[in-house]
Amino acid sequence: MLVFFMKGRVKFKVLAKVLYEVLTHRVSVDVAFKRACKGVRLKGTAERELLYELARKFVSDYHKLRCILGDVRTYAKYVRVWLEGISDEGLPPHCRLSYSRWFYDKVISLLGENEGRQLLASMNKRVWWLRINTLRASEEKVVRLLEHEGVKYVIDKDYSFLVRIEETPKPIRLLKPVREYMAIPQDKASVAVIHVLSPEAGDIIVDMAAAPGMKTSLIMMLTENRAKVIAVDISYRRILLMKNLLRKLGVDLSRVHLVVSDSSKIRFPAYPSKVLLDAPCSNSGAVSKDPALKVTLSEGKVKYYALKQAELLNNALQIGSMIVYSVCSIMPEEGELIVSLYKDRIRLERTLTWASEGYAGLPLSSSVMRLFPHKHMTEGFFIAKMLTK
């Protein structure tokens, strides 16, 4: 009885603190959960994982709870009502799907009611992709190890080094191939970005927003460490994390030049073979990974990033003649509308046959690529391949 009581208290306290962190400090669920668990005694990994999943669901249901409770200001009330169980009967669609009115209306205006709702519903579920890191182990070895751990997976039809996890007896990060950097969680959309970049041995590639290095590491994997990457990021802290990650993934660090700089101003003495601009963005395509985005996303944020993206792309067009621009966003303000600012200076190529086109009715939409959770089981991404005129 005491154990049950204690567990209930812990659960209550952690969930309330998670919501406080997300609403007050606008952080991700992962960061909020870490902060909320500080000083809390949990009985091992299993309890922690259960609580983590609960925290994700709770934050994901925030807008639904708001619809039910109105403008209640106490976190405790949100937690209590949610733990007792809520019903969405009679609620309007944005409340049932648990999105802000603004975000819901925006998606419906882009895709129509049916498809828009499908997209929003699929962003409420997480899909896990694992990229087999062939710099550390063969594809065969990694799938054998996954099977040995009881993981159910599907090998992707487009990329043989990518698997979609269907069931796992333990958290992904605790699986042996992941712990030993033979595999790493990476969404299929990120892989598709590098597919569009099509790195080759001998290429010199500028990665303009490189940290924490997931795409740089894939470039090096696909070229068997035979490309050269100039990896730029504005954040020194993130560049340090990147260096550490690349080393663990088996990337030849003598071929990756790490630079801390503002890529909207940086210049290079010579043209690289290819430029990747995986720009900072609102992350509106990554809601399934971080449900806190449903709470923290705003029109202001989208506008803020659109300005940054325009500056960065402007400079990318001076740096190289082949540029891949990508953002993990479903907002046209960060995709079609950014690229169309430079339409007179570029030619676009659509190389990803399985991707969707851009949003109907927007400039250049038939020449750019979009990936969607409800269609491609990926995060929501925008990708454009540009050649300067």
Ligand X SMILES: C[S@@+](CC[C@H](N)C(=O)[O-])C[C@H]1O[C@@H](n2cnc3c(N)ncnc32)[C@H](O)[C@@H]1O
Stretch that binds ligand X, among 60-68, 124-132, 159-167, 209-217 (CB under 6 A): 209-217
For the four alpha carbons of 308, 310, 314 and 317, in that order, the dihedral sign comes to positive
Annotated catalytic residue: which of 37, 67, 281, 328?
328
Stretch that binds ligand X, among 1-9, 115-123, 230-238, 347-355 (CB under 6 A): 230-238
Cα–Cα distance, 351 to 368 (Å, whole number) = 9
The nearer residue to ligand X, 116 or 213, going by C-beta atoms, is 213
Q: For residue 192, state whether it binds ligand X (rule: CB under 6 A).
A: no
Q: For residue 209, state whether it binds ligand X (rule: CB under 6 A).
A: yes
- In the complex, the smallest distance separating the C-beta of residue 147 from ligand X, rounded to whole angstroms, is 28
Q: For residue 111, state whether it binds ligand X (rule: CB under 6 A).
A: no
Q: 236: number of CA atoms within 13 Å, CB side? A: 0
Residue 207 to residues 262, 275, 310: CA-CA distances in angstroms? 12, 6, 16
Cα–Cα distance, 145 to 242 (Å, whole number) = 26
Stretch that binds ligand X, among 40-48, 232-240, 317-325, 335-343 (CB under 6 A): 232-240
Q: Is 335 strand, coil or helix?
A: coil
- Residue number with the smallest Cβ distance to ligand X: 209
Q: For residue 215, state whether it binds ligand X (rule: CB under 6 A).
A: yes
The nearer residue to ligand X, 98 or 216, going by C-beta atoms, is 216
Q: For residue 119, state whether it binds ligand X (rule: CB under 6 A).
A: no
- Pick from 191, 210, 227, 377: which binds ligand X (CB under 6 A)? 210
Binding residue count for ligand X, defined by CB under 6 A: 18
Write the DSSP string, 357-383: -S-TTSTTGGGSEEE-HHHHSS--EEE
Please, which residues bridge with residue 116 across strands? none
Active site residue 328: yes
Q: 301: which residues sit within 8 A by CB, 6+ positions away? A: 282
Chain positions 245 to 304 lying near ligand X, rule: CB under 6 A, are: 262-264, 278, 280
Pair 345, 317: CB distance under 8 Å = yes
Q: 133: number of CA atoms within 13 Å, CB side? A: 26
The nearer residue to ligand X, 262 or 299, going by C-beta atoms, is 262
Residues involved in catalysis:
328
Positions in the binding site for ligand X (CB under 6 A): 190, 209-215, 232-235, 238, 262-264, 278, 280
